[in-house]
Structure 1
Amino acid sequence: MSLPSLQHYHKRPYGAISPFRPELSQDGRTVIVTGGSSGIGLAIARGYLAAGASHVILLGRRQEVLEAAVAKLRHEAQTYEQSGQVEGIVCDVYNLALIERLWRSLEARVVFVRVLVLSAAAYGATETILQGGIQKVWSDFEANVRSPLAMTDYFYKQKSGGYLVNVSTCAAYMWTTMGPERPTYGLTKNSGTALLQQIAKDVNPSDMQIVSFHPGGILTDSARKLGAHENMGLVFDDENLPGQFAIWAASSEAKFLHGRFVWANWDVSELSSGDLRRQIDEDEHFLKVGIEGLTEKTGGMILT
């Protein structure tokens, strides 16, 4: 959960990522959250509403769950004294035709999205890759790599400047300890994170700032379905920790993390200063997907 030089980490929201900080205001912004009808996606949508977003759009596949989420957020927004619009759109973001329809509809309505949060994910099956077979494995690549690519492509082509926040996972690099029984999950999330990292390399953060993060250990309904429960001997993180970290990630304060991967638990003040900030600024490979133990500086070809 921590880096060797990290002194503080968090289980709950804290002041530096508070949606009520003026520096993190989302006033006037339209935000899309994929997988926004439950769990971490819903917590992220809650955070953006609290931060004053003018329009929060939740994408989900189940109409009744989506309607319940919208109703809940509208009620909560009243407690924040925020007047942001909450909208739910039924959209299977694993389907390219439906993704295109979504963005064409937004364009027709003259809706310009300023923040895109990629929170939807396929967890894969509890079987080896070769047991699953080509089609099942490839469908997870379509969900966790092709879908984020399609959403990112339409988002970027608005040419209005924006923030892309990618909810990744530590399973993308913790191969043997985090869900090893679901090998396509870590594999495809690794690929999806690397995809956005590569896009960030060629995109100025003023045009589209990209930050990927692991949300922490959250006891969501999805986690429960995978076997997690309160009596596991673990202290789970508050879902509003990643919910509010995602707001900070869509601010100018997080610009130095463009193209990088971090944890929501890490203290953003520490990340932004001292030894950690120095390492981020000086090492272009730090906190990026690669081959453990090798970088272009230390593992490149010798041609002499």
Structure 2
Amino acid sequence: MGKLDGKIALITGGSDGIGFATAQRFLNEGAAHVFITGRRQDALDEAVKKLNSKKITAIQGDTSNLTDLDRLYDVIKKEKSRLDILFANAGVFEFGPLDSLSEQHYDKLFDINVKGVLFTVQKALPIFADGGSIIINGSVVSIKGFPNNSVYCATKAAVRSFARCWAVDLKERKIRVNALSPGPIGTSVFKNIASSEEEKKIQENLATLTVLGRLGTPDEIAKVAVFLASDDSSYVTGIELFVDGGAGQV
């Protein structure tokens, strides 16, 4: 018996990194079906190939695009009729020095990291099962200040607030809402914004911020996502659960 036996789950941003690792964990824990989304069809195709399961469906789309979200939920409703678990994981990261911030930078991060989360959750509600679990991917930056990151940090503080408010909004339906906030994790997040040498230096610097002295792995976040998705956390709602190697705690 797996912890998620019979559950129908959606993971946004599921083609790589934390989302992909969580999809693998959900399948291993007996989820009846897992839907994943992503903006790049080629990355989704590769993820489905690696997951190698008839219980996985990939749907291309941008969570900040409401038409894409409507299409996503139309597919889920048609194929499975309901959702039990939602991991609102899709997000983007970019450095943004205060003295050179642009409107484009602000709009991009808030559209995907905040607007996308808001409407991903809102549009799921008509098919979301009472007693289900909503998990929002936050970040340790919601409680700490980092140089050249003010807009990104603000987006993660916003979604942490969503978790508090929605836990109250959805309490009559017994839907639990929690924020899962990673610290520095070894993913491909810096590959598109830094050279290989710069990426290595960034990761080394981030590792020094943790008590454990290393980056976390996507699977270490996925294990906690399973906890929040399952009945193991049946008395947990409205929290921000840090999985950060101590980076924001001491």
Shorter-chain TM-score above 0.5: yes
Partner of 1:99: 69
User: What RMSD, in angstroms, separates the aligned Cα atoms of the two structures?
Assistant: 2.5
Partner of 1:6: none
Q: Is the Cα–Cα contact under 8 Å of residues 121 and 144 in structure 1 kept in the other structure?
A: yes
**Which residue identity is paired with 1:66?**
L
Q: Is the Cα–Cα contact under 8 Å of residues 41 and 60 in structure 2 kept in the other structure?
A: yes
Tell me if 1:215 matches 2:185.
no
| Distance in 1 of aligned mates of 2:124 and 2:39 | 20
Bigger fraction of residues in strand: 2
Q: 1:138 aligns with which of 103, 107, 110?
A: 107
Partner of 1:229: 200
TM-score (norm 2): 0.84
Q: 1:118 aligns with which of 81, 85, 88?
A: 88
Bigger fraction of residues in helix: 2
Offset at residue 266 of structure 1 (A): 7.9
**Which residue identity is paired with 2:158?**
S
**Which residue identity is paired with 2:18?**
I
Offset at residue 265 of structure 1 (A): 5.4
Partner of 1:201: 168
Offset at residue 45 of structure 1 (A): 0.6
- Percent of pairs identical after alignment? 23
| Distance in 2 of aligned mates of 1:65 and 1:156 | 27
Q: Is the Cα–Cα contact under 8 Å of residues 125 and 132 in structure 1 kept in the other structure?
A: no
| Distance in 2 of aligned mates of 1:63 and 1:224 | 19
Question: Structure 1 residues 43 and 205 mapped into 2: Cα distance closer, same or farther (>3 Å)?
Answer: farther
Say which SS state the counterpart of residue 256 (structure 1) adopts.
coil
| Distance in 1 of aligned mates of 2:165 and 2:102 | 28
Say which SS state the counterpart of residue 120 (structure 1) adopts.
coil
Question: Structure 1 residues 173 and 243 mapped into 2: Cα distance closer, same or farther (>3 Å)?
Answer: same
Tell me if 1:186 matches 2:153.
yes
**Which runs of structure 2 are paired with 1:1-304 in the superposition (5 Å)?**
22=1, 25-74=3-52, 85-128=55-98, 131-161=100-130, 162-176=132-146, 180-204=147-171, 207-225=174-192, 227-229=198-200, 232=204, 234=207, 235-264=214-243
- Which stretch of structure 1 is more off in the superposition, 53-62 or 228-237? 228-237
Structure 1 spans left out of the alignment, 5+ residues: 1-21, 78-83, 268-286, 288-304
Say which SS state the counterpart of residue 89 (structure 1) adopts.
strand
Structure 2 spans left out of the alignment, 5+ residues: 208-213
**Which residue identity is paired with 1:71?**
K
Offset at residue 28 of structure 1 (A): 1.1
Partner of 2:211: none
| Distance in 2 of aligned mates of 1:29 and 1:253 | 14
Say which SS state the counterpart of residue 157 (structure 1) adopts.
helix
Offset at residue 257 of structure 1 (A): 2.8
- Deviations along 1:163-193, whole A, 9 cap, x unmatched? 11111100111113xxx21221101111122
Equivalent pairs counted in the alignment come to 234
Question: Structure 1 residues 135 and 265 mapped into 2: Cα distance closer, same or farther (>3 Å)?
Answer: closer
Q: Is the Cα–Cα contact under 8 Å of residues 160 and 207 in structure 1 kept in the other structure?
A: no
Q: Is the Cα–Cα contact under 8 Å of residues 205 and 255 in structure 1 kept in the other structure?
A: no
Question: Structure 1 residues 183 and 168 mapped into 2: Cα distance closer, same or farther (>3 Å)?
Answer: same
- Deviations along 1:84-137, whole A, 9 cap, x unmatched? 611111111111111112112322334311111111112134332x63333431
